Structure 1
Amino acid sequence: MIRTKGRACAGKRRHDTEEQAEDHRDRLIANGAVRLAAYRCRNRACRGWHVGHLPKPRI
């Protein structure tokens, strides 16, 4: 699970579909971003899709 640390979806780009979010993630990765994932927003007012960083791997 990706936690938003109380930020909900403030400051994040909203996508209507999972496919749109994944396309956006792919463009960001092509421009050098790493460890990104598309996920469904839990905010009831939004209910869209966002792109965010994955948690750091545990060692």
Structure 2
Amino acid sequence: MIRTKGRACTGKRRHDTRDEAEEHRDRLLAKGAVRIAAYACRHRGCGGWHVGHLPKPRT
């Protein structure tokens, strides 16, 4: 794990590639997680990929 200013990456598992992040997402979905996606981290200090929840749909 890497910590960045504003703690955006604190507590998140970092993946080196998109494929690794998508494999992790697939395992979580198989365990019952919903509405999650792999995404590239926007922080320069990280440079990796994370898996996180999608925003709730607007009603």
Judge same fold: TM > 0.5, yes or no. Answer: yes
Pairing 1:47–2:44 present: no
Report the 3-state secondary structure (helix = DSSP H, G, I; strand = E; otherwise coil) of the residue aligned with 2:50: strand
Calculate the TM-score normalised by the size of structure 2. 0.87
Indicate the structure whose relative CO is greater, using CA pairs within 8 Å and at least 6 residues apart.
1
Calculate the TM-score normalised by the size of structure 1. 0.87
Report the 3-state secondary structure (helix = DSSP H, G, I; strand = E; otherwise coil) of the residue aligned with 1:27: helix
Match of 1:19, as an amino acid?
Answer: D
Report the 3-state secondary structure (helix = DSSP H, G, I; strand = E; otherwise coil) of the residue aligned with 2:20: helix
The equivalent residue for 1:29 is 29
Report the 3-state secondary structure (helix = DSSP H, G, I; strand = E; otherwise coil) of the residue aligned with 1:50: strand
The equivalent residue for 1:20 is 20
Give ranges in structure 1 of 5+ residues lacking alignment.
1-5
Post-superposition Cα deviations, 1:11-43, rounded to whole Å, max 9, x if no partner, equal: 000000000000000000000100000000011
Give ranges in structure 2 of 5+ residues lacking alignment.
1-5
